[in-house]
Amino acid sequence: MEKTFETSFGRVRLLSLEEVRGSALWAECFGRLAKDHRFYEIADQTLRGDFEFRYLLLEAHGGEARAIQPLFFVDQDLVMTGPKFVRVMVAAIRAFFPRFLRLRMLMSGCVAGEGHPPGTEEEWSWNVAATAEALPKLAKKTGAWFVIWKDWPVGYRDACQGLLKNGRFMRVASMPATQLMLGFGGFEDYMGRHLSHAMRKNLRRKFKVTRGIPITMTVVTDVADVVDEVHALYEQVFSRSTLKFERLTKEFLLQFGKRMPDRARFFLWRHEGRLVACSICLVHDGTIYDEYLGLDYSVALSLHLYFVTIRDVLTWAMANGIERYYSTPLNYDPKLHLGFTLTPLDLYVAGASPLLHAVIRRFLPWIEPTRMDPVLRQFPNAEAMSPLPVPQPEPCVRTQ
């Protein structure tokens, strides 16, 4: 595989993790983020079964190293987020052609979370432009059908504006994250000031079920002694999800706690001595990131464990001076009623060739991820998702 590409910005080198860790830039590129260079290393070393990780070293003219942009290759199911009738039709075709619409993709960003440009805000536009010029060349060399910038927060739209120039990339909405600002005195204050009467009544009815039932919570930074149980709970939730991407391994959980103890937080709930729920979080710069959930479904529904975990994590966060709760995509209906708002994420998509680009331009509106979930359009800031317009209700016509 060719490892060096010349661009109008300078030179781009394609490196492995072992090579990139020797660069002085590596620890600096994502230091401002909750998922810093250590997280990328952990993902690379523990999630390799489904992904092939690479890194672009961006050099300006004269050889000055400017930034490092993580990439990965994945075989992606193009219809995973499409309408049911499309998925049924494709499933029938795959009985004879197993790889139909399952294609190799080159993605820019983080495999387990949202993507970010490296460096400071002043450097973002240069880094995005340099990366964008190299990616189509790299896709052709490696047999990737499409280039995708995965789950980039809307705050980078100005820096990414050049991607849309001359139709080079298309921007569509990815499944958004959600957030809640925690300016409350506690969970009761949050319910009283932020939730509807119906939702407060609903929650109190759920929590009444668990009153007197011994469910205890502990918060740790290392799960080495219970990793088998934590992973089994995570697998139960993962297996029920309609949309799947990265799949955590036991080694990921172990390394996350071992190498990022300043940011890793594992919330563990036990019932009668048995682990029945877990929440895998990061804490950084006043925000708690609730990343992955694990539940024992033999008791999760009867004990309303999903809402118990939300209550306890929010209570812990507010007691520890956390200002914002940030939750990953999916499971939007309860988050809507809990008063969360959307944190929109963008996908930038391009075909590796002009023909593929023309095809995906017509096909993309049908597989755009947010079309699957009508609840998203009920959030108060749904219009921030891009670029599909928020459907408007039909006007009411009065009849005589």
Name which of 17-26, 245-254, 293-302, 324-333 the model is least confident about: 17-26
The answer to whether residues 71 and 21 belong to one domain is yes
Q: Categorize the per-residue pLDDT at 330 as very low, low, confident or very high, splitting at 50, 70 and 90.
A: confident
Per the structure, the count of domains in the chain is: 2
The answer to whether residues 105 and 162 belong to one domain is yes
The answer to whether residues 87 and 149 belong to one domain is yes
Name which of 10-19, 246-255, 389-398 the model is least confident about: 389-398
pLDDT, position 241:
83
CATH of residue 78: 3.40.630.30
Q: How far apart are CA 151 and CA 175, in angstroms?
A: 8
Q: How far apart are CA 110 and CA 106, in angstroms?
A: 12
Q: Who has greater pLDDT, 253 or 89?
A: 253
- The widest CA-to-CA distance across the chain, in whole angstroms, is 78
* pLDDT, averaged across the chain: 88
Q: How far apart are CA 273 and CA 216, in angstroms?
A: 9
Residue 317 belongs to a domain: yes
Question: Is pLDDT of 294 > 50?
Answer: yes
pLDDT, position 100:
61
Burial label, 82 (beta-carbon count in 10 A; 0-12, 13-18, 19+) = buried
| HSE-CB of 369 using CA atoms within 13 angstroms | 24
Burial label, 348 (beta-carbon count in 10 A; 0-12, 13-18, 19+) = buried
pLDDT, position 82:
59
The model's pTM is: 0.89
pLDDT, position 45:
95
pLDDT, position 188:
96
Question: Is pLDDT of 293 > 60?
Answer: yes
Q: How far apart are CA 130 and CA 342, in angstroms?
A: 30
Q: Would you say the C-alpha torsion 387, 391, 392, 397 has a positive or negative sign? A: positive
pLDDT, position 243:
75
pLDDT, position 184:
96
Q: Categorize the per-residue pLDDT at 197 as very low, low, confident or very high, splitting at 50, 70 and 90.
A: very high
Domain that holds residue 12: 4-176+344-384
Cβ–Cβ contacts within 10 Å for residue 168, how many? 15
The answer to whether residues 9 and 155 belong to one domain is yes
CATH of residue 241: 3.40.630
The answer to whether residues 220 and 296 belong to one domain is yes
The answer to whether residues 217 and 235 belong to one domain is yes
Specify whether the backbone of 317 is left (phi greater than 0), alpha (psi in -120 to 50) or beta. Answer: alpha
Residue at token pair 């092939």: 52
Give the percent of the chain with pLDDT over 90.
Answer: 64
- List, for residues 349-362, the tens digit of each pLDDT value: 998 888 888 888 88
The answer to whether residues 156 and 237 belong to one domain is no
Give the percent of the chain with pLDDT over 70.
Answer: 90
Q: Would you say the C-alpha torsion 96, 101, 107, 113 has a positive or negative sign? A: negative
Question: Is pLDDT of 81 > 60?
Answer: no
CB 173 within 8 A of CB 343: no
| HSE-CB of 91 using CA atoms within 13 angstroms | 8
